[in-house]
Each structure stands twice: as C-alpha cells, then as structure tokens.
Structure 1
C-alpha cells in the first residue's frame, strides 16, 4: 500500500509574512506566493547553521507543532497556516530529536489551510473556549478569589493535590495532558492554547480591580478549560473535570 504523501506546514502571522523573515529584514510573503516557488533570500552557507535570525525555511509535518519556533510574538490569534513543499536539498537539526521538522532553502507554497488545526484536532473547540467561554467566566473566577482569598487558597490546594470524588487532582490531570500533547506532537499547540487562554483573561479583567492572586487563579482556571477542550476526545470526564476545576465551582457556589 503506497504511503500517504507527507504534508509540511509553516505558520505565519495574519499578514502571511514569515515572522523571522521580517525580523531579518528580508520579508517572505507566503500569502502573495500561493502556487509559486520561493527561494530563500539569504540562505545559510553552512548547512544548517543559524547564521542569521532567518537562515532557512523551517517546516513541520506534525501540524500540532506548527506554532513552535515561528518567531510570532506576542502569542496572538488569528494566525495563518500554509501547506508547503520543500524543494532542493533538505536537512534537520537532529533527526533523533526533531523527526517532525525539515529545513530547506527553497519551497513551493501549495495552499492555505485552516489555522485552527495548529491547536490540535479540536482546535475549533479550543477557540470557542478562548473567545467565548473564558471571557464569560473570568470575572466570576476572580471575584470568587477576592471574596475569600484564604478559603479559596485552601480549596485550590485541595483541588491541585487531592481532587474529588468524581475527578482527579489538578496537578495530575495537567501532567497527563502535557504528556499526551508531547506524545501526540502537540506540545506547541498546548503552549499556544495556554497563552491564548491567559490572554483572554487579561482582556476580560483589564478594566476590573481584581487582585494579582485573583488573576493568577483565573489564569489557572482558563488554561484548564482550554486544555480540556484540546483533549476533549481523549480523556474521560474524570480527567476533563479535573482540568476544568469543576469542584472549585461547586465549593465556591456553596460559600
């Protein structure tokens, strides 16, 4: 049975320009070159050394790692995702540690693909949580903390360390999610999911007088909800509820 062709991906900011190429002063616009071959404007002479900020094209075949090492900062959304074909000589920093990555000095831009795929197979659900659910809940999470910091500190410790009758401990669930993301080659996806979740909290609490500790608590709740969405089809409720901290909501409602 013939192997399925490998698809290679490059992520860019919303304007379609490779972020590192812009920083190097040699902007490469993928959006303007769909279907075209692009030669690297200033390729490294020693393969594959970083002789500048942008010495070669970097691409990945595991879409969940497409947001790794892109130069896109701060983490924001939307981004754009491109399917490309490497041409000419290719290389890799280390096939052992980066088997999903490829480097080249020439590419063909095949097409733009749905950017949410870079956040994992449930990327659409992740964005729903980040863009809709977290803004709805962030103020309440912060208010719960500021209404009784000592009590919430105790409850949070119990959730992190002990869990509850219908869910595991928060730390255990977080470590499990991280391990699964690593095994599924979605570490970059989870990193971005967490950054986007914290960014949504910052926006929701921008005009409030929430304390710093309340914001930190809201960050934890937000990232847990977003990561649970990323792994929605992989974990049972025992894990997902631990990530979401459902026990914390139940305790806060009784006080």
Structure 2
C-alpha cells in the first residue's frame, strides 16, 4: 500500500526511537520524509535529514520555510522529540524543570506553530504529538516529565479545536514502556524493566514500530474523522491494575 503517497511528512526526534520508526514507516507508505533532530543523522535515513534544536524558534521557522520551499507543501508533522527525566519537586532544579518543559512541551508547540502556516494555506494536515502514559496518569519521581506530557494532552485538544475548521487534524499518542535509546536506563535495571513491563497487560515492553504503526493511521486519510484524541499505545497499561498474577 501507499497510504501517504504524495504527502510530505516532517518528524522531529527522528534520529532514534519512535521518531526514527515513524520516519521509516511513513517512507514505506510513500511519504517524502524530512527528519529533524539535534542528534546525528542515522545511517540510511529514508529521506532528508536536517539538524534542529526544538527550543530554537528562529531555526524552526527557517527550516519549515525551507521544507515548504523545497517540496511545495507540508501534510504531516510528528512531534517525537523529547527527553526523559527523574525527580520529585524537591529534587528537581528549576533549570532542569525548564529544560524538560522546553523540549518536551514548548518544542512541540513551536514546531506546530510553523507547520500550521502551510497546512492552513492548503486547508489540510495532520499533526501528531507523542505524549506518554505518564501524561494520562502520574508516577513517582518524574514530576517534570509528567507535567510536560500532561501538557501535550491539552496542547493536542486545544489545537484540534482551533484548527479543525481548516481540516487540520491534531491527535496524540501515549506510549507505554517502549524499548528505545531514551529508555535504556530502564533496560539497564533488569529487575525494574521486568516489573514495569509486567504492569502492561500484554506483559511486555513495546517496540517503536508498534507506535509508528498507529502514527501512520493518524497521518493517513483513513483517520479523516479522528481529531483531538489521545490514543494510548501501551499494551494495556492504562486499562488498570492487575492484582492476581497472570495465568
């Protein structure tokens, strides 16, 4: 199939993890993919790769203009750039709090701001924010990350309301534990990784490609009447708690 044929898709955080998986999956479905990341370009990236710090508004504006100038349009934006963090309120410095919010929340707002101009002009588009299960519910010693991802939920809903009239759909994905470079510190603690994975009803961690498959649906015309939604891709983690051991 070629569900994204003739579409131009921009993916932030495209150097690794969920962002890279989205870039590859979109390219398989016919999209012209532009990857943006502060990290180095991965080998055999399936499209154009450009360096970007999502905290730099001027750079975002310039790159979005260059992308539209080169391809003539912009159809899909995936905001996958993000960082992990740990710490309670009393254990988190103001500087670290601000850094997490700047990258995980404000960065998504800024890239959306400059992607919206061509989408409004063409009266179509799909924006996908990568949130987290910890935007749907909290967890201990993770306050800055929890708050930033909770903000992604409201950013998604607000944008869906503001731009739906122009046929621009805005949705979010809330992954559970996904085995990516960002979660390497979880995998390094094998006992904790096993415990965390067991809290997902499928009794395992997810893979970036499993998130990318849902992002593909939201990016495609198959999701033409889906907007303002936060979709959990979490192996059943947010369904609730299991008290008896699995059989």
> TM-score w.r.t. structure 2 length?
0.28
Greater Rg over alpha carbons, structure: 1
TM-score by length of structure 1 reads: 0.27
